Structure 1
Amino acid sequence: DVLRDGANDVTVRVNNERRPDGVPAMNTDWWNYGGVTRSVRLVETPATFVRDLAISLDPARATARIRLDGPASNGARVQLAIDELSLSREEQTDEQGYATIVIDADDRIERWSPENPRLYDVVVASEEDTLTDRVGFRTIETRGSEILLNGEPVFLRGICIHEEALSREGRATSESDARELLLLAKDLGCNYVRLAHYPHSEFMVRMADELGLLAWAEIPVYWTLDYDNPNTLAEAKTHLTEVIERDRNRASVIIWSIGNETGDDSVRTAFRNALGEHVKALDSTRLLSAAMWARAELEDGRPVRFVVEDAFGEIADVLAINSYIGWYWAEVEDLRSCSVERAWDKPLILSEFGAGMKRGLRGPDTHRWTEDFGLRIYRETLDWSTRIEGLAGISPWILKDFRSPRRQLTGVQDWYNLKGVVDHEGRRKEVFGLLRDHYRQVAEERQSR
């Protein structure tokens, strides 16, 4: 109705203004780039088209949920085909345009994993339309303190990543940007990345599928939101709905995170629990988590025990804590006598730790901002992590130094958070090699079991 013969113009208006009741709100520790920072496509479809495909695997079967949209969507025939498996199934849609196709999960389907990131071209065809997606088949679940990938325990050797390009300034916006960041994570020895603190571009999770990296996906429920505002909760649910609907066919994505460092009072817990229930209603095939704080128990002013008892842990599948002992408070050597207790027998991830390090600045390991100080923090924290009973993974903060409006120390930070294992130009710090050696040792020890 709005198209004219000949050339037509499409005008896009973007409003990146922050609001106290928004998600995120006014207080963040990253640079929220303005403008259009995602690829934009104009898609032409027939009147009745394939709106959606959601496909997942459990140990016994693969289930595909297909949705048609349009005037002829109900009672239509749809076909699902995977040519590499010589597999084809057909079903008829119901009155709402949905069809469910179940496939036996026999030995022909290779399981996707970091060691074998096998993807299949899955084709859904209706009378008028065809949709193709590259899908990996794997299972993810928990057993006590273990995370099980395809039924086997997996330890997450991770790193946190902000969506900043590696070899240039600005937001990572392209497939090549995603490849460059994730290949660096692979070179570090990672099998896992925490994509903080907001949904990253589709290029990132599709590249993680291709390269074989497990992923934690998060929405920007972060620090200080208007937690008792129903409109803020609705906006956070919209974030979750959109990222889950976009990425639920990505084998790499194993954890949906509903936030980071929110605190755990009753209002914030009710907000987070509502988000957790929303996640479970949308996708029960993945794990639910959030980056939380543990309660520190002190003796003579020094931490001796961390207790993971944040009330969100009741609904979460995976517990996750951020810890900056030695950087923001206490001495990192205090970790030598620190234990960790948890209120639930669930997997625990050390979701953040680290220190600010200015690349090339050397000195005594007691001097902040030096690479030597960072090496000290990493050595002690990595050693501590090996003694935490039932630890299922770690993701140090962070892969690359990134822009932040909060990091203003002139001559040192200069508007960058310096906790990266590489600097803002992608140049490696000394701690990169230390972490890579640690991950090699962890991988070798687990292989020999």
Structure 2
Amino acid sequence: MRNVWKMLLLSGCLSAAVAAWAQDDQAPGQANTVKGGGTRAELAKQPPTLQNIYGRQHLLLDGRWNYITDPYETGFYNYRRQAFDQTGNGTGGFFDDRKQKDKDELIEYSFDGSPTLAIPGDWNSQNAKLENYEGTLWMRQQFNSAPKEGKRYFLYFGAVNYEAHVYLNGKKLGSHKGGFTPFQFEVTGRLLNGQNSVVVKADNTRHQDDIPTVNTDWWNYGGITRDVLLAETPDTYIADYQVQLAKGDMGRIEGYVQMTGAQRAQDVTISIAELGVKTVVRTNAEGRAAISIALPKNKVRYWSPEDPKLYNVAIAGATDKLNDRIGLRTIETRGHDILLNGKSIFLRGISLHDENPLIPGRLRGEGDMRMMLQWAKEMNCNYVRLAHYPHSEEMIKLADEMGILVWAEVPVYWTISWEKPEVYANASQQLTDLVVRDKNRASVIIWSIGNETPVSGPRNVFMGKLADTVRTLDKTRLVGAALEVHRSGSVITVEDPLADKIDLASFNQYAGWYWTNNREMNNYSFKVDYNKPVIVTEFGADALGGFHADSDTRWSEEYQDQLYKNTFKMLEAIPGLRGLTPWVLADFRSPRRPHPVYQDYWNRKGLISETGKKKQAFYTLKSYYDQKQQQYK
């Protein structure tokens, strides 16, 4: 059965994979110890990542972690380049977290007395010596636990960039590749009653065959960048569930519930007290049951940016129960229109990175995230593109709460190794992890499978398979990708076979900045021959905040502002235009931007500067969105 689970996982059939895994569930206390870096095999040996992790009883392991910088990976390999955790003799590996017991004992490292990092948080922004560091850092946290009989325990990481090897009390739990998706290891039977030590080897080195690849236009922040939790569940627990309106049907909820453990067959009640909804389903021997719930007529408040209503949904079985806050809404396309709850909308958006321009590094918590989304709302945005990788689960929940629609993306970015099966497997797994985590969030309306990937035969196959995978995982949302444009004379076209596989004619274009200029850009026109909604996923120009000149002077706020005005004129001529996410909300750091005067390793296309000041184009975009809001009332 393990092989069935693996095949289904690799193919993207997540819900079927969960059921297959449940048939062969490992007994509590028999967690797998894994050697080496075969991350997909390790995932196949682990239960599916816990749904709604913050709804679980948990111990937060955030705080100050001791760290050791290890550019030569001395703590992982011996002098013959053999991994300590594979030699059968772990002596020398930093993961042992050893203490000197005898005065003649040789130990060449110590976490005690080593400096500390704030976790969650990247290392580049917390120590000037590590600002440009790419390599291995070891991090250790100590915590106390008192494991209970009949309970299961999972060590959960929101994200570690990029490759993580995880050890508990000196024993390897496994490894994970991917800098922005959650992962976990079951530690039932491995926790000590008292003090425990968790050690993480994090390596943010870029590689051609990773997702993303070596070349990106954002800072490669390394470390444990999201929460670390020790979660507790019953022996048989709710492993997964989906509660969403049926596609195209505002009167019915459809979904499923999946139990995992020894007592998989049981009655499960799904209730929404505010709507007077309550139904009981019986899970089968594999722990699975379909959900179909008729909603009362004229009583439902459908989630929207104007009314981001969230209902308390309770899921309770004989052995476990969970509560979630879920919005009910439909999203679909019809010709050029995007229909939210059956009504045509215009997506008034902005792109943003998971980075606070005011405090160096990744967004560290709700305050940072709320600030970014509030800036978007100040521009009258109803929509954000969370680029170019999965943002945190907390960000998505805030979007639910604040009423902001979301484009969620995986880092299949620019040119990667299209023909290597292991690269596709990595991309497919990251996409699967994103969909699994956020499938119950009303704010997410578009799953994006990539950004600016150049057309070729191998790429078309790769990206087409990703589109098929996401539709297998979730049929209730739209599928998109940020495509590239092509120029023939003065005509700009979208010519990409991938456009036939996705729901939107969505593309990036940089008229006026990377080609042509403010004076000549209005000589160009767009030709988009798809009977689909047109979403322009990027446009913009760099402007150094506070630098003023005329509108022909690059890097000035006036140039950026005029480019926005010209772009609106160009795009309004496209009949199917239904949304924009200009690039970008705020200035962000990038190693690709070295100009000493205007950039200083910042991408300056933000509408808000690194000091938090709004540039002229901020107000121009807001004025445009105010008009669009009136048009689509």
The TM-score range, normalised by the shorter chain, is: over 0.9
Aligned to 1:347: 533
Letter in 1 for 2:351: C
Letter in 2 for 1:45: T
CA RMSD of aligned residues (A): 1.2
Q: Is the 8 A contact 1:323 1:352 kept in 2?
A: yes
1:359 Cα deviation from its structure 2 partner: 0.4
* 1:83 aligned to which of 261, 268, 273: 273
CA distance in 1, matches of 2:553, 2:629: 32
CA distance in 1, matches of 2:496, 2:230: 44
1:333 Cα deviation from its structure 2 partner: 4.5
CA distance in 2, matches of 1:410, 1:282: 46
Q: Is the 8 A contact 1:166 1:180 kept in 2?
A: no
CA distance in 2, matches of 1:333, 1:292: 26
Say whether 1:207 aligns with 2:398.
yes
Q: Is the 8 A contact 1:166 1:181 kept in 2?
A: no
Aligned to 1:317: 503
* 1:239 aligned to which of 430, 442, 445: 430
Q: Which has the higher mean CA deviation after the structures are superposed, 358-367 or 438-447?
A: 438-447
* 1:429 aligned to which of 615, 618, 622: 615
Say whether 1:331 aligns with 2:511.
no
Q: Is the 8 A contact 2:492 2:527 kept in 1?
A: yes
Letter in 2 for 1:248: K
Aligned to 1:358: 544
* 1:196 aligned to which of 375, 387, 399: 387
Alignment coverage as a number of residue pairs: 441
Aligned to 1:65: 256
Letter in 2 for 1:94: N
Letter in 1 for 2:544: K
Say whether 1:230 aligns with 2:418.
no
Say whether 1:52 aligns with 2:240.
yes
Aligned to 2:411: 220
1:433 Cα deviation from its structure 2 partner: 0.9
What are the within-5 Å matches in structure 2 for residues 148-163 of structure 1? 148-163=339-354
Aligned to 2:596: 410
What's the TM-score, normalizing by structure 1?
0.96
Letter in 2 for 1:296: R
- Cα deviation, 1:137-191, whole Å, max 9, x if unaligned, reads 0000000011110011110000000011253221013112111110110011100
1:337 Cα deviation from its structure 2 partner: 4.2
CA distance in 1, matches of 2:430, 2:381: 27
Letter in 2 for 1:98: R
CA distance in 2, matches of 1:334, 1:274: 39
Say whether 1:145 aligns with 2:336.
yes
Q: Is the 8 A contact 2:482 2:507 kept in 1?
A: yes
Aligned to 1:165: 356
Aligned to 1:96: 286
Structure 1 SS opposite 2:228: coil
CA distance in 2, matches of 1:24, 1:61: 39
CA distance in 2, matches of 1:11, 1:121: 37
Aligned to 2:214: 26
Aligned to 2:374: 183
Letter in 2 for 1:41: L
Letter in 2 for 1:80: I
Structure 2 SS opposite 1:160: strand
Aligned to 1:117: 308
- Cα deviation, 1:44-101, whole Å, max 9, x if unaligned, reads 111000111111113131113111111111x211111111112211111012111122
What are the within-5 Å matches in structure 2 for residues 357-376 of structure 1? 357-376=543-562
Aligned to 1:4: 192
Q: Which has the higher mean CA deviation after the structures are superposed, 437-446 or 216-225?
A: 437-446
Say whether 1:288 aligns with 2:479.
yes
Task: Work out the percentage of aligned pairs sharing the same amino acid.
Answer: 43
- Cα deviation, 1:256-314, whole Å, max 9, x if unaligned, reads 0000001111111111001101101101111011001122120xxxxx22222211001
Gaps of 5+ in 2: 1-188
Q: Which has the higher contact order (CA 8 A, sep 6+)?
A: 1
Q: Is the 8 A contact 1:333 1:380 kept in 2?
A: no
Q: Is the 8 A contact 2:526 2:570 kept in 1?
A: no
CA distance in 2, matches of 1:293, 1:2: 50
Structure 1 SS opposite 2:600: coil
Say whether 1:278 aligns with 2:278.
no
CA distance in 2, matches of 1:69, 1:176: 35
What's the TM-score, normalizing by structure 2?
0.68
Change (3 A) 1:337 1:446: farther
CA distance in 1, matches of 2:200, 2:415: 30
Q: Is the 8 A contact 1:122 1:133 kept in 2?
A: yes
Letter in 2 for 1:39: D
1:335 Cα deviation from its structure 2 partner: 4.3
- Cα deviation, 1:114-158, whole Å, max 9, x if unaligned, reads 011000111111112111111000000000011110011110000
Letter in 1 for 2:240: D
